[in-house]
């Protein structure tokens, strides 16, 4: 996969409640037939001595196909709208393309869908959502 064409979605958690959300989202992605072309993996770090919180857990989903990238983002929105997250407990979700990153967990579905539409038109991430 050419790193220049790589697009990724990253979801991170740091505390136990957020980790259960992350596990739920990870299972959701693995069951979504639309994202099978993406490389989806769960990365766990160990709790470090002297830190109050546990290790950081991350879902990393990578693809070089715009359609699959859009499907990853739609899968997150669908999971989120199914009531998996609350306003007080959310995953940190970042999407990245061409070196530009956008955090999407606080964006509305409409804002994120506008971004996906711009991807389909060949536009980059620049300018934000």
Residue 85 CA, chain-centre distance (Å), reads 14
* Rounded distance between C-alpha atoms, residue 54 and residue 43, angstroms: 14
pLDDT at 89: 65
- pLDDT mean values, one per 10 residues, the chain (129 residues): 64 77 88 87 68 66 85 88 70 82 85 78 50
pLDDT at 120: 63
Rg (CA), the chain: 15
Encoding tokens for residue 39? Answer: 């490389």
Domains of the chain (ranges, CATH numbers): 3-120 (3.30.70.100)
pLDDT at 21: 83
* Rounded distance between C-alpha atoms, residue 19 and residue 123, angstroms: 33
Question: What's the CA angle centered on 85, arms 83 and 86, to 5 degrees?
Answer: 100
Of 91, 86, 106, 88, give the one whose Cα is nearest residue 12: 91
As beta bridge partners, residue 63 has: 7
Residue 33 CA, chain-centre distance (Å), reads 16
pLDDT at 51: 47
Under 8 Å between Cβ of 75 and 29 = yes
Encoding tokens for residue 100? Answer: 């530009």
Instruction: Summarize pLDDT for 25-52 with one digit per residue, the tens.
Output: 888 999 998 888 888 888 876 655 554 4
């Amino acid at each position: 996969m050419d790193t220049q064409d790589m697009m990724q979605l990253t979801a991170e958690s740091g505390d136990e409640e957020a980790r259960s959300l992350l596990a739920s989202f990870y299972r959701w992605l693995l069951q979504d037939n639309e994202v099978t072309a993406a490389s989806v993996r769960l990365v766990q770090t160990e709790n470090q001595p002297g830190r109050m919180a546990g290790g950081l857990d991350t879902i990393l989903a990578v693809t070089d196909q715009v359609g699959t990238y859009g499907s990853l983002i739609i899968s997150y929105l669908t999971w989120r709208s199914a009531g998996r997250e609350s306003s007080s407990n959310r995953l940190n979700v970042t999407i990245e393309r061409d070196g530009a990153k956008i955090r999407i967990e606080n964006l509305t579905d409409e804002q994120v869908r506008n971004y996906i539409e711009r991807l389909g038109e060949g536009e980059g991430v620049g300018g934000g959502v």
